[in-house]
Amino acid sequence: GQSLEQPSEVTAVEGAIVQINCTYQTSGFYGLSWYQQHDGGAPTFLSYNALDGLEETGRFSSFLSRSDSYGYLLLQELQMKDSASYFCAVRLMEYGNKLVFGAGTILRVKS
């Protein structure tokens, strides 16, 4: 089976930096994706890491360590609009290349 763990909630202030961690236990791991979902909205793709290291996309960065089965999403210069749920998802080497999502982390940004 697979399991992913991420914190249920994180609170930070506007302008700050926040890190959302994701640890996983799975076989046949291909890579780790991150998605953002605002209340009432659809999940939207943020980033993907197949190799160890840091991927940067604007204010958001994502990191993966395959040896530690661990990744994180780093959000810099937090804005109120970043308040949302963030999901890590593992891409598995099963037929069909499915994504298995974590339970999500609610990020609350305060002014």
Partner 1 sequence: DTAVSQTPKYLVTQMGNDKSIKCEQNLGHDTMYWYKQDSKKFLKIMFSYNNKELIINETVPNRFSPKSPDKAHLNLHINSLELGDSAVYFCASSQEHLEAYEQYFGPGTRLTVT
Kindly tell me which of 43 and 82 has the beta carbon lying closer to partner 1: 43
Is residue 86 a contact point for partner 1 (CB under 8 A)?
no
Is residue 79 a contact point for partner 1 (CB under 8 A)?
no
Distance CA 45, CA 25 (A): 22
Distance CA 21, CA 42 (A): 21
Q: Please name the helix (run of DSSP H) or strand (run of DSSP E) that holds residue 3, with its range, or none.
A: strand 3-5
Give min distance, CB of 96 to partner 1, in A. Answer: 4
Distance CA 76, CA 9 (A): 17
Is residue 29 a contact point for partner 1 (CB under 8 A)?
no
Q: Which residues form the interface with partner 1 (CB under 8 A)?
A: 30-31, 33, 37, 41-45, 48, 50, 85, 87, 89, 91, 95-101, 103-104
